[in-house]
Amino acid sequence: MYVVISQRFTSVLCLPHSATYFDLRPGKLPLLLLLRPIPLKCYNQVIRQDGEVMNRAARIGIIAVSAVIFCYAGLGHVLGRTPDDRAYKSLTVYGEVLQKIQNDYVDDPNIPLVTAGSLHGLLESLDPQSSYLTPREYAEYKQKIASNAAGETGLTMSKRSGYIVAVSVVPDSPADKANIHSGDFLESVAGFTTREMSVGQALNLMRGQPGTSVKVGVIRSGKAEPEEVDLVREKLSPAKLQSVKVDSDVTAIRILSLEPGRADELRAKLLEAEKQGARKIVLDVRNCGRGPASEGIAAARLFVPSGTIATLRGQTVSTQVFAAEPNKVVWKGPVSVLMDTTTSGAAEILASALAMNHRGDVVGERSFGLASEQKLITLDDGAALILTVANYYNGDGKSILEEGVVPTEVVRAAAYDNGDGSDDDEATTNSGAANPQTPPAVKPLSQEDPLLKKVIELFKTPAKKAA
């Protein structure tokens, strides 16, 4: 337990093994720069080190010292107000809440646990993809990167109702082999509850050496109790594009990922389909949740001759407008997209570009809503933030992260049969995008697919727009 006092910074909360810094230079606002809880043994429980116990009298003394520092900082605030008033006010509220917890809570509170929880909650209140990693978690993350731990489970994940949820599953991956579907909740990962676990923490736990395993507790659609599943990590290769002729002049191309190189592969598939007599193209981006946004933009430019593909902007990120490039257009004939809630990220940018520029129909259900950019920011105490710094916006200026991509033709696929006839009434994700019943695993395209049937019907309707 210590108080840090220096020319520039002073500790205000004075927690065990913690440093909360405020800028107390004349005319400067006290800004919360860093809260460092003690290293965590687990993600929802703080264990004090070396048997250290802080008695109530000592804590009261610390709160008193903190109050004096707040008063000093407040005086500096009054004498030199700056545009950072909102940060100051939020900070004073935090200090007041902490003091009330310390003095009035029914039991003697575990202050390190309270602090750690507040930091996790602070990041997760922003959006599902922002995360706080403790020094221990970030050290594990760096160790896995350094050791080339390329094993993974094949899950794209987000948050819903406080828990980790599967957004999409890579075909033939460990998660697919374990019969995990989009919409399934992961109640636990590696023995830790996901109730207050961030996506960054879950991804960190899922990664490891190929051949090693991780236990997950899966709550399947319509079920109340979790089922424990062992996932054996594998090094996954990017899924190749699949093309199939579904009508006399219609070729469907299934895009299961938009990882680097897929846009060039799509270009080759389009040229091949044209040589084989195809006049109409169907892009199936269901269950496509991987790949950088740049690949989705490159894929959209193969179809869109003019207009805006997407716009990227954030508070500290310069606005970038990604425009169509006529010289990159390969396919000028009719095109449609099949999409549902397993569609996310780069695939959303592709679908949105075709819809917003009236290049073709987008058939299915609203996408999940994950098209954004995250940045890893390291902190002085060894912790790290995974922070969303920019969102992608469609041609109408709407955030894809918040709104998802809305289909031009809504068609709901048959509900996944989980064997008990029950339904999942959850209607929205915490990003605002739709959440229908759990879809089935990826199956070969057939003309009985309700989305594909609708697309072929639309193709036969006169005046379909071409480039």
70 shares its domain with 110? yes
Residues 261 and 403 in one domain: yes
Tell me: the pLDDT tens digits for 123-168? 888 998 999 888 888 999 888 888 777 899 999 999 988 899 999 9
The reply to whether 447 falls in a domain is yes
> Is it the case that residue 276 has pLDDT exceeding 90?
yes
| Two tokens, residue 40 | 């965590």
State residue 376's pLDDT score: 95
Q: Are residues 329 and 426 in the same domain?
A: yes
DSSP-based three-state secondary structure for 230: strand
270 lies in some domain: yes
Those residues whose C-beta lies under 8 Å from the C-beta of residue 122, and which sit 6 or more positions away, are 132
Statement to judge: residues 266 and 365 lie in one domain? yes
Indicate whether 222 and 177 sit together in one domain.
yes
- Alpha helix ranges (H) inside 357-406: 400-403
- Dihedral angle over CA of 177, 422, 193, 13, nearest 10: 140
Does one domain contain both 104 and 150? no
Between 33-42, 53-62, 399-408, the lowest mean confidence (pLDDT) is in 33-42
Task: For 308-339, write each residue's pLDDT tens digit.
Answer: 999 999 999 999 999 999 999 999 999 999 99
| Least confidently predicted of 77-86, 183-192, 363-372 | 77-86
> Does pTM surpass 0.95?
no
Residue 202 and residue 135 in one domain: yes
Within-domain flag for 185: yes
Query: Which CATH number characterizes residue 163's domain?
Result: 2.30.42.10
The share of the chain scoring above pLDDT 70, in percent, equals 74
**253 is in which domain, residue-wise?**
242-372+389-459
Q: Do residues 116 and 125 lie in contact, with contact meaning Cβ atoms separated by under 8 Å?
A: no
How far apart (Å, rounded) are the C-alpha atoms in residues 82 and 30?
A: 11
Q: Is residue 438 situated within a structural domain? A: yes
Average pLDDT value for the chain: 79
Mean pLDDT of all residues in 86-113: 83
Q: Would you place residue 27 in the very low, low, confident or very high pLDDT band (cuts 50, 70, 90)?
A: very low
Q: Are 410 and 311 contained in the same domain?
A: yes
Question: Which sign, positive or negative, has the C-alpha torsion 190, 186, 130, 354?
Answer: positive
Residues 140 and 120 in one domain: no
How do beta strands 9-11 and 21-23 pair? antiparallel
Q: State the average pLDDT over residues 418-441.
A: 40
In a domain, 448, yes or no: yes
Instruction: Summarize pLDDT for 188-216 with one digit per residue, the tens.
Output: 999 999 988 899 999 999 999 999 999 99
* Per-residue model confidence (pLDDT) at position 53: 43
Share of the chain above pLDDT 90, in %: 55
Residue 166 lies in a domain: yes
pLDDT value of residue 49: 39
361-364 sheet: strands from edge to edge: 242-247, 250-254, 280-284, 335-339, 361-364, 409-410
| Domain count along the chain | 3
Say if 467 falls within a structural domain: no
309 within domain boundaries: yes
Domain end position, chosen among 104, 124, 144: 124
